[in-house]
Amino acid sequence: MKAALGVMNHLQEVHVLGMARVSSAGLRKGNIIDIESTSRSIDNCLNELERLTGREVLSTVTGFSSISICAADNRAVIAVGNPGDVVTVEDKERVLSSATNISLPPDKTVVHVIERQYIIDGYDGVRDPVGMAGNRLEAEALVIYAAAAAMQNLQRSAQRINLSFDETIYNQLLIAESVLLPAEKEMGVALIDMGAGTTEISIFNQGNIKSTSVLPIGADYITKDLAIVLRTSIEEATRVKEQFGLASPEMAPDDMMIEIHNLQGSEAKQIPQKLVAEIISARVLEMLEMIYTELQQQGDLNKLAGGIVFTGGGAQLQGFVTLMEDFMDVPVRLGRPDTIKGLSSELNQPQNAVALGGLICGLRHQDPELIQDQSGISGIFDRINYWLKDLFS
């Protein structure tokens, strides 16, 4: 898990003060299985962030994902209540509230509601209806929901260390803040984030998210395959994947050998890098097939001018982007958090997209009066995003 802390100046520019990363405990396949261990991991992460920045963390903007994530379209219509037939803030809130009300099983809860568009007297494409004239106001929304237990366990883990959540936001929305260009979101783009245990897939169009889903596959699948086939530990398999892993055996030189230790770590042997690439490639192709099927269900890839933006720790595997581009037959680019100016190369990595996207969201929604005009630096230092990617993705 990761946490980032930063400030914003009077020009609305985000400056990162620090980022912390710790290994996640109490988790399995993206789900909390031990609240006590998870709480300790959260506490360790925030303590490290406080040590790095010299600032106390009191509350957070938190990213959330889960294999239980689902999305449903909904629509509502009301009569404008103002006698002058002008849409008021109350009218907007009333129709959006109606669009949010969907029938959910008792074990599900709403995570996020996305306003897609408003329609006034049959005229669609309205972003903000307040102040416009009309008698009939409609709203279209995307309601993202998930297992209530997943949200509750996250909240209970935070409560154990007296941490307050200012807001909980779906991970894909945070990633979009840090890696997607406005033109991409407007013209159409697929956003794929491959974490350790899950892969999140969303399509953005006309400036907002249109559909989303979470697959129960991730970079850990590759690591476990390597560990089993090579008869070594998960830690050693991770090292081999990160240092020598290739998405395709065609990329590996025939004479390249790798030293790998056995499960106990007491003995070492030499294996061809091509063998490692063959193991990885088998799993990668399987994952690409699942991703492609999901994308086809969400929409026509050929109609997305922005192609695919690929983020997450899984995106770091050498050759993955090229292989995905060939497999999908659409442009694919590596999604880095380039929307933050002056970011160091160490932080400007695909696996940091969620944390830095949450930092952007937290700072942009803070009280404008807290931004000092003279120094240009926000007085709020307890606004952070704390990445639970390893928890719920």
More confident: 144 or 343? 144
Give pTM, 2 decimals.
Answer: 0.88
Q: What is the mean pLDDT of the chain?
A: 87
Pairing mode, strands 257-261 and 268-272: antiparallel
How many CB atoms sit inside 10 A of residue 57's CB?
A: 21
386 has pLDDT over 50: no
379 has pLDDT over 90: no
Lowest mean pLDDT among 132-146, 149-163, 231-245, 284-298: 149-163
Decide if 199 contacts 217 (C-beta within 8 A): yes
381 has pLDDT over 60: no
Residue 247: name the closest of 169, 178, 155, 315 by CA: 315
Domains contained in the chain, CATH given: 1-57+337-393 (3.30.420), 70-146 (3.30.1490.110), 181-335 (3.30.420.40)
Report the distance separating Cα 143 and Cα 113, nearest Å: 5
- Residues of the chain above pLDDT 70, percent: 92
Report the distance separating Cα 294 and Cα 201, nearest Å: 8
pLDDT score, position 265: 82
Q: What radius of gyration do the chain's Cα atoms show?
A: 23
pLDDT range class, residue 387, cuts 50, 70, 90: very low
More confident: 40 or 367? 40
Give CA angle at 372 (10, 128), nearest 5°: 50
Report the distance separating Cα 41 and Cα 23, nearest Å: 7
The DSSP 8-state label assigned to residue 368 in this structure reads G
pLDDT in tens, 148-185: 998 888 888 888 888 877 788 899 999 999 999 999 99
Report CA 124 to chain centroid distance, whole Å.
30
**CA distance to 240, 305, 347, per residue, from 275 (Å):** 12, 37, 32
